[in-house]
Amino acid sequence: MKGYTTREVAELIGLPQETIREIARAGVLTPERSAGQHYRFSFQDIIVLRTAKELMGSGIPRARINQVLYGLKQSLPSSRPLTSLRISGAGGEVLLRENDQLVNPESGQTHFDFAIADLAGTVAPLARRAAEEAEHTDELTSDDWYDLGVDLEAVSPADAPGAYERALELDPMHADAHVNLGRLLQESGSFERAESHYQRALVAEPDNVLAAFNLGTLLEDLGRIHDAIAAYKRAPDFADAHYNLSRLYELVGEHAEALKHLRTYRRLIDPP
């Protein structure tokens, strides 16, 4: 029978077995049962349990976590799983991120990050002016254009790709510019161009972890699962790469490989 035992899940995410059983009994998870009536957890269950652990680490009582997660699960349409939500804890509150806003699912109150909003409003005109001035000088290096692209991403995203392209005109082997430009292209749906930039970044720096990881996410989005696995394997010290590898191996039915990468993920995020 496929699925992870309570003991395996406890080892992988660092929660006591009884806590895992309690969350399962609360109706938040949908584990199967073995012939001996022992829980068998899916990969999706593990994601929810990891979220629960993060909320506990934020100081939120376990009973409240169960209540909030169960309420969210009941309110979602059947086509949308609980794992599709981005849930976090801050200041004793459970917060749900939707459409770039933080919402308390219990009160419905929206939370805004005023510090970031104020900073963006202050810096945006300066970054745009720096970009305009840069167009009229030949003194900027590829690194200067790259740094300007990073600044523009935060305050004027539409202008950032042009800065990265200028960096690459001066240095076609600027791996970080390829990675950032690839990410922006990926986010805009230009998958073929994004893949090209990730691949070129890996030619320039074969051990560029971020290029390999981003390429993996792109290939996964395109349904090229085995190519995505190969890309993630090029980031051996990146915890999230192992997390994604475990999910993909579970998807293709290689349970032992999935478990191996989950254990590596656990070791990387919580070393002894």
Q: What pTM does this model have? A: 0.62
| 3-state secondary structure (DSSP) of residue 88 | strand
Residue 145 has pLDDT above 80, yes or no: yes
Least confident of 103-112, 181-190, 258-267: 103-112
Least confident of 79-88, 134-143, 199-208: 79-88
Report the pLDDT value the prediction gives residue 115, as an integer from 0 to 100.
38
Is the domain of 72 the same as that of 169? no
- Residue 100 sits in a domain whose CATH number is 1.10.1660.10
| Beta-carbon count within 10 A of 65 CB | 23
Report the pLDDT value the prediction gives residue 104, as an integer from 0 to 100.
57
- Report if residue 135 sits inside a domain: yes
Report the pLDDT value the prediction gives residue 61, as an integer from 0 to 100.
80
Q: What is the mean pLDDT of residues 171-197?
A: 95
Is the domain of 190 the same as that of 207? yes
Residue 111 has pLDDT above 50, yes or no: no
CB 197 within 8 A of CB 178: yes
Percentage with pLDDT > 90 across the chain: 33
Sequence-ordered list of residues with C-beta below 8 angstroms from that of 226, at least 6 positions apart, any chain:
252
Q: How many domains does the chain have?
A: 2
Q: Where are the beta strands (DSSP E) in the chain?
A: 32-33, 39-40, 86-90, 93-98, 101-103, 110-111
Select the more confidently predicted residue: 146 or 76.
146
Domain that holds residue 83: 6-111
Picking from 51, 79, 111, the residue at the C-terminal end of a domain is 111
Alpha carbon separation from 109 to 102, 104, 195, 271 (Å, rounded)? 8, 5, 39, 37
Please return the burial class of 185, using the count of CB atoms within 10 Å of its CB with bins 0-12, 13-18 and 19+: buried
Which tokens in the block code for residue 80? 């949308």
Residue with tokens 């995203």: 157
- Report if residue 162 sits inside a domain: yes
* Confidence band of 114 (pLDDT split at 50, 70, 90): very low
* Confidence band of 95 (pLDDT split at 50, 70, 90): low
Is the domain of 170 the same as that of 211? yes
Is the domain of 38 the same as that of 63? yes
DSSP code per residue over 34-65: -TTS-EEB-HHHHHHHHHHHHHHHTT--HHHH
Picking from 46, 80, 111, the residue at the C-terminal end of a domain is 111
Least confident of 20-29, 62-71, 212-221, 255-264: 62-71
